[in-house]
Chains A and B, each alone.
Chain A
Amino acid sequence: MEHVHTEHKLGFWRKYVFSTDHKVIGVQFLFTTLFFFLVGGTLALILRWQLAYPGKPVPVLGQLFPQSMAVGGVLLPEFFNSLFTMHASVMIFFAIIPILVGAFANFVVPLQIGAPDMAFPRLNMVSYWVFWPAPLVVLTGFFLQGGAAASGWTAYPPLSAIEPIGQTFWIIGVLLVGSSSIMGAINYLTTILNMRAPGMGFFRMPLTTWAVFITSILSLLATPVLTTALIMLLFDRTMGTHFFLAEGGGSTLLWQHLFWFYSHPAVYIMILPGMGVVSDVISTFSRKPLFGYRMMVFAIAAIAFLGFIVWGHHMFQSGMNPTVGTTFMLSTMLIAVPSGIKVFNWLGTMWRGAIRFTPAMLNAIAFVSMFVIGGLSGIFMASTAVDIFIHDTYFIVAHIHYVLFGGSMFAAFAGIYYWFPKMFGKKLNDLLGRIHFIGTFVFFNLTFFPMHILGVGGHMRRIYDPMQYAHLQHLQPINVFITISAFLLGLAQLPFVVNFIKSLFWGERVDRNPWEANTLEWVAPSPPPHGNFETIPTVYHGPYEYSVPGRAKDWLPQNEP
């Protein structure tokens, strides 16, 4: 028997802090990750200053740093290394992955499949309480002898095996966030498989749910391998083993294989949920069914599958067997096929639609276009011969930011504008949303596009002072331009912060279905009470029945016969 929960009277602590309600946990993840998004952004701005004006004191913040980080406001090289390491670690592990998988998946999935909560609510709570200490542990490194981890987010040994104590904290933090991911994945998979409302067949699930389902398979199977690698690295550092140190018979290349066996699928963990979100948003605001729904599902599955067999393309320069390199090159290039299917299907969805340019839709369109640029630059890297030239240059930095910021982050913004009314019963301000979108879109491109040019010009990534290299000196104006754009990109987030806080308290109240959307989350009240639905809905249609001929309304909710 389906059994609908009634509103329990819970105290403040159980309701908002130690909550087992998937919606509260989703919002907890959202607030935490948005905070670390700002932290990660600030770290990037500090290091951008050094790249544009090497040897000049950092304004305002520079004076706050102790002698171990900066002398007279000028960053020390060791501190610079910590900065780029922490920027990437914070953004990848504590912002992008948990905002898509922790925040949106948690909040949206049970609602979209018509479930009262997750399959394992207490496990869900633990996954948050294991998550949030992780960034604190990692960032504690800044206050320790020798500073925070400084071997890049990829933590390649032997460097990462001999770095100061901050690296140990980094390993522990990433282990924590990994356990949180695995717990989340178990929960999402079980929930989606077993908790769907009556009538909610697999091919009636919205794309966000599908994407989370497939992403969870990736996290479930890839994260434990990272865990083993981290444990072995931890033992190398603390127990005197030599897993990754050549002197004792270990293999440094082994780390790279294990790390990328996780971290390449992790790239898809960071983009696939975004693709799901964007599919929902584009279909809703184009007032048209998603073009090629089944193909979209199969394309996500294909990307996920290929994601497991392409990790070697990060290692073309590692001295790997060239034949193996060619195999990895071919499998990598195959990913262009399902990715292309997705892009054309999004375009097909928008084609001749009655598009409503809400902030959510604008961010979703930006996702599609930026993902195309990021995808195309990916093909350069997939090709072994080209990669040998651009490996470890700013071309790579440009590529990852086009997919992770241009892709994942725009999708996250789209998701926030789209589901904010459901989360809080209030709407984000439209005008501020547009200003935020335009500022972010323009300055994002001004910041990251020139990095392609730097990279082809031979600008290495992770260098402290470009002016020390004769072949980079004439490129310095581009570095200055990028830094100015990056600061403006940071400023462009201000309207978002203002909008978020303002709307949270004084936003325009909305009813349960402000976007006139079909999927089940819009059937529940805004915000949904504990237990989500008044009665468990029955599903009669697919998720994207917009503009059905002969109907007065141009949408057909999934629960209407």
Chain B
Amino acid sequence: MQDAHIGRLGIDTRKLGMWIFLASEIMFFTGLIGSYIVLRFANLNTWPVPSTVLNIPLTAVNTFVLICSSATLVLGLASVQRGYLEGLQVGLFLTVLLGSIFLSIQVKEYRELIHEGFTISSSIFGSCFFTLTGFHGAHVFAGVIWLTVVLIRSFLGYFTAEEYAGVEIVGLYWHFVDLVWIILFTILYLI
């Protein structure tokens, strides 16, 4: 079944499209991160030490949660490739769950920060922080919705040991979003 989508390049057309889409996503985050670097260097004197503003232990836990969600998705994919459908369903469910926990913790973090007076318009650091993490959060949100659709489809018999591209493609996206978070966590929170 997968073979029907293999094109002239020897790659599944849907997967190729996803890779190309991710290239544009890389440039999107490059634009945001690049602007952040430029603005931070332009305001070195007034830039606060991130740990004085942000709750780093909480976000470190959150980072761990997101990395785990990538691992559960990989386990799900490995299961379906061996024809073990229940494994896929458990893997997808855990991924959706961990993704939702990540979003809830991020919402909690936002509420605390805004309560302390650190908002998108309070300083240039605030503008960068909320824009970068906000767009990342929107990507996680889109990913959770997409994973939920894939989870429902896994119960409707869309995936077998021969046909699992739908899981693989959402996986590419999810791992990408995960990777972006590791970069954002490093440059916004840690340094």
**Beta-carbon contact of A224 and B31 below 8 Å:** yes
Secondary structure at the A interface, as helix, strand, loop or mixed, is helix
User: How far does the Cβ of B20 sit from chain A's closest Cβ, in whole Å?
Assistant: 5
**Beta-carbon contact of B7 and A224 below 8 Å:** no
**Beta-carbon contact of B38 and A190 below 8 Å:** no
Among B9-17, B62-70, B91-99, B108-116, the one that faces the other chain is B9-17
Q: Name which residue of chain A comes closest to B46, CB basis.
A: A249
* CB < 8 Å neighbour of A225 from B4, B30, B121: B30
User: How far does the Cβ of A181 sit from chain B's closest Cβ, in whole Å?
Assistant: 10
Cβ contacts A231-243/B at 8 Å (1 or 0 each): 1100100011111
Q: Within 8 Å of chain A (Cβ to Cβ): is B149?
A: no
B1-48 interface (Cβ within 8 A of A): 4, 7-9, 11, 13, 16-17, 20-21, 23-25, 27-28, 30-32, 34-35, 38-39, 42-43, 46
Among B52-60, B75-83, B123-131, B158-166, the one that faces the other chain is B123-131
Task: Kindly list chain B residues whose C-beta atoms are within 8 Å of the C-beta of A222.
Answer: 27
Also in contact, A228 and B38, with CB within 8 A (given A182-B24, A235-B127):
no
User: How far does the Cβ of A274 sit from chain B's closest Cβ, in whole Å?
Assistant: 23
User: How far does the Cβ of A257 sit from chain B's closest Cβ, in whole Å?
Assistant: 8
**Beta-carbon contact of B35 and A254 below 8 Å:** yes
A221 to B21, CA, bound (A): 10
A225 to B35, CA, bound (A): 10
**Beta-carbon contact of B13 and A242 below 8 Å:** no
Task: Kindly list chain B residues whose C-beta atoms are within 8 Å of the C-beta of A239.
Answer: 120-121
**Beta-carbon contact of A186 and B20 below 8 Å:** yes
**Beta-carbon contact of B127 and A242 below 8 Å:** yes
**Beta-carbon contact of B27 and A186 below 8 Å:** no
**Beta-carbon contact of B24 and A185 below 8 Å:** yes
**Beta-carbon contact of A221 and B23 below 8 Å:** yes
**Beta-carbon contact of A249 and B13 below 8 Å:** no
Task: Kindly list chain B residues whose C-beta atoms are within 8 Å of the C-beta of A248.
Answer: 123-124, 127
* CB < 8 Å neighbour of B38 from A123, A220, A242, A251: A251
Also in contact, A225 and B31, with CB within 8 A (given A119-B17, A249-B39):
yes
Task: Kindly list chain A residues whose C-beta atoms are within 8 Å of the C-beta of B21.
Answer: 186
A249 to B123, CA, bound (A): 8
Task: Kindly list chain A residues whose C-beta atoms are within 8 Å of the C-beta of B38.
Answer: 251, 254, 257
* CB < 8 Å neighbour of B35 from A120, A185, A249, A258: A258
**Beta-carbon contact of A232 and B23 below 8 Å:** no
* CB < 8 Å neighbour of B8 from A186, A195, A242: A195
Task: Kindly list chain B residues whose C-beta atoms are within 8 Å of the C-beta of A200.
Answer: 8
A301 to B42, CA, bound (A): 35
Task: Kindly list chain A residues whose C-beta atoms are within 8 Å of the C-beta of B16.
Answer: 119, 190, 193-194
Task: Kindly list chain A residues whose C-beta atoms are within 8 Å of the C-beta of B127.
Answer: 235, 241-243, 248, 250
Q: Name which residue of chain A comes closest to B135, CB basis.
A: A231
* CB < 8 Å neighbour of B31 from A182, A193, A258: A258
User: How far does the Cβ of B110 sit from chain A's closest Cβ, in whole Å?
Assistant: 14
**Beta-carbon contact of A186 and B24 below 8 Å:** yes
A220 to B8, CA, bound (A): 21
Task: Kindly list chain B residues whose C-beta atoms are within 8 Å of the C-beta of A227.
Answer: 28, 31
**Beta-carbon contact of A231 and B9 below 8 Å:** no
* CB < 8 Å neighbour of B17 from A120, A228, A231: A120
A241 to B134, CA, bound (A): 14
**Beta-carbon contact of B17 and A242 below 8 Å:** no
User: How far does the Cβ of B28 sit from chain A's closest Cβ, in whole Å?
Assistant: 4
Q: Within 8 Å of chain B (Cβ to Cβ): is A196?
A: yes
Write 27 A-B pairs (CB below 8 A) sorted by A numbering. Answer: A119-B7, A119-B16, A123-B17, A185-B20, A189-B20, A190-B16, A193-B16, A194-B7, A220-B23, A221-B24, A221-B27, A222-B27, A223-B24, A223-B27, A224-B24, A224-B25, A224-B27, A225-B27, A229-B35, A232-B35, A241-B121, A241-B127, A248-B124, A249-B124, A250-B39, A250-B124, A254-B35
Q: Could you list 16 further interchain pairs (A-B, Cβ under 8 angstroms) beyond the known A194-B7, A232-B35, A251-B39?
A: A190-B13, A195-B13, A220-B27, A221-B24, A223-B24, A223-B27, A224-B25, A227-B31, A228-B32, A228-B35, A232-B131, A241-B121, A241-B127, A243-B35, A249-B46, A250-B39
A contacts, CB < 8 Å to B: 1, 119-120, 123, 182, 185-187, 189-190, 193-196, 200, 220-225, 227-229, 231-232, 235, 239-243, 248-251, 254, 257-258, 261
